[in-house]
Amino acid sequence: MNKPKVLTLLLLVIGLTLIGAVAIFASAAKPAITIRKVEPQTVLYTIHRGGYEQTGSAIGKLFALAGQNRIQPQGPIYYVYLNNPNQVSSEHWLTEIRIPVGKDALKIAGTLGEMTDVKSLPAMEMAVAVKPQGLADPSPIYTALYTWAVKQGYMVSGSPREVFLTNAMSGNYAQMKTEIMLGVQKFTSNKD
């Protein structure tokens, strides 16, 4: 191939890459937000300290623990953020990694150790937005969710969570598609 054709092809690839990156950033800045009721569920969970790239072994151990106890996972993995990732370095991030399981798993609650257990969660209304594959920094989505919730008359209740719609064990957060969720309650004023 001659140099002008190679240069044209290279410029085309760079242009398409930039267009894709701009589209991902634009969709993150103004994500579609919906309200969804999450039904009550039982979860097997563990508390993890560290960044995404270190969660694969914790997730593997959680699935192994489920298998050892004949507990069948019933949904995708999700993380609940126990501290703000924007305020602490990634080695100090605290997350509760959860796997939805059947209610029969409650029979082993309290027997799995200090940082791992089974618990029941109540039904909740959640504000939900999708983090697309290819987006490394979800901050614009979180900002949009919190802003939207307040403008719509909701109070945020509880820690944000992220449901992994692609393999969470890969450790490459930018390549994961997730749903970012905030527990919300409609704000009501008590006037006497």
The span from the CA of 122 to the CA of 36, in Å, is: 14
Distance separating alpha carbons of residues 129 and 181, to the nearest angstrom: 7
- What are the extents of the domains in the chain? 31-186
Residues of the chain with pLDDT > 90, as a percent, come to 50
Rounded to the nearest 10 degrees, what angle do helices 3-29 and 139-151 cross at? 30
pLDDT at 90 (0 to 100): 83
Reported confidence tier of residue 43, pLDDT bands at 50, 70, 90: very high
User: What average pLDDT does this structure show over 175-182?
Assistant: 90
**31-186 CATH fold:** Multidrug-efflux Transporter 1 Regulator Bmrr; Chain A (3.20.80)
Average pLDDT, the chain: 83
Number of Cβ atoms within 10 Å of the Cβ of 148: 18
The answer, yes or no, to whether residue 180 has pLDDT greater than 70, is yes
3-state SS assignment for residue 139:
helix
| Range name among 5-9, 68-72, 78-82, 101-105 with the lowest pLDDT average | 5-9
* CA 168 vs CA 59, 71, 97, 121: distances in Å: 8, 20, 10, 22
With a cut of 80, say whether residue 25 has pLDDT above it.
Answer: no
pLDDT given for residue 71 in this prediction: 93
Query: Which of 20-29, 105-114, 181-190 shows the lowest per-residue confidence on average (mean pLDDT)?
Result: 20-29
pLDDT tens-digit map of 109-135: 999 988 999 999 999 999 999 999 888
Task: In whole angstroms, give the CA distance from residue 30 to residue 18.
Answer: 18
Cα-based distances in Å from 140 to 14, 27, 30, 51, 118: 24, 9, 8, 19, 32
pTM (two decimals): 0.75
Q: Which two tokens stand for residue 186?
A: 């409609």
Evaluate the CA torsion angle 54, 57, 59, 65 in order and state its sign.
negative
